[in-house]
Amino acid sequence: MPQETVSIQTADGTCTTYVLTPEGEGPWPAVIYYMDAFAIRPAVFEMARNLTDAGYLVLLPDLFYRHGPYEALVPKDVFANNAFATDVAPLMASTDNHKAGRTDTEALIAYLDTRSDVKGDKIGTVGFCMGGGMAIAAAGFFPDRVAAAVSFHGGNLATDKEVSPHLLAPQIKAELLVLGADNDHSYPLDMAERLEAALNEAGVTNTCKIYEGVAHGWTKPDFPIFDAEATERGWGEALALFDAHLK
């Protein structure tokens, strides 16, 4: 899988971003990938191959650039040492749905516009866990550019905080796919209902589902709760959405 590393200047600093492309010649439709809280690591590149293999150019930004340098995270070690509060939370505190969905996405879209191998002006967004809300927020902040957005087991998607993604529903023009888990304290049933109600009230075309028998983070191959069957099913739904709007 062809890959390059670029430095993208945002209003808040320099964001190291990975550009992954399919084999062969472009141009290709583009998708911005919003990472989970365990940051950039081999599993993330493995997951991104689902997009490049399907014919998409992928932008994968390190959304923790505001924090400064940090040690690479290994999920199994974090879980084993119960080190989420010390190793992960400080990184998460450096960003949020607005910083990533608006400030970072503005710079990422501007970068895409400089590339001759990007097809069309409509893009897709996809996010996992922490990144799920960011992918939805990007659709709200850039309604004329984001045509399809996908959240895989995104957390805190409809809360009372001002950065809650559901508050952007009236601005969204994209079609949304929101896939949750029935074992997820960060996205309980009442929150799922609140998000879906906000989307429907705003007239957003959406598909919101709760996968049964899986837990928060089920798509990540380096997590102990990884579920291969549910992951394959979820990617099938996501790629169908992107294909419908971007190809």
Residues in the chain: 247
Q: How confident is the model at residue 76 (pLDDT cuts 50, 70, 90)?
A: very high
Which CATH architecture does the domain made up of 3-246 adopt? 3-Layer(aba) Sandwich (3.40)
Query: What is the residue extent of each domain of the chain?
Result: 3-246
Q: What is the mean pLDDT of residues 162-171?
A: 98
Give the pLDDT of residue 144: 98
Q: What is the mean pLDDT of residues 196-209?
A: 98
Q: What is the mean pLDDT of residues 211-222?
A: 96
d(CA 230, CA 138): 25
Question: Does residue 179 contact residue 153 with C-beta atoms inside 8 Å?
Answer: yes
Which tens digit of pLDDT belongs to each residue from 98-149? 999 999 999 999 999 999 999 999 999 999 999 999 999 999 999 999 999 9
The overall average pLDDT reported for the chain is 97
Q: What is the pTM of this model?
A: 0.97
pLDDT of 1 strictly over 90: no
> What is the number of other CB atoms lying within 10 angstroms of the CB of residue 135?
33
pLDDT of 167 strictly over 90: yes
Of the candidates 222, 229, 226, 219, the residue with the CA atom closest to the CA atom of residue 42? 222
Give the pLDDT of residue 2: 84
Q: How confident is the model at residue 200 (pLDDT cuts 50, 70, 90)?
A: very high
DSSP 175-208: EEEEEEEEE-TTS-HHHHHHHHHHHHHTT--EEE
Q: What is the mean pLDDT of residues 66-88?
A: 94
Q: Which two tokens stand for residue 1?
A: 């899988």
Give the pLDDT of residue 59: 98
Paired strand residues for 30: 57, 123
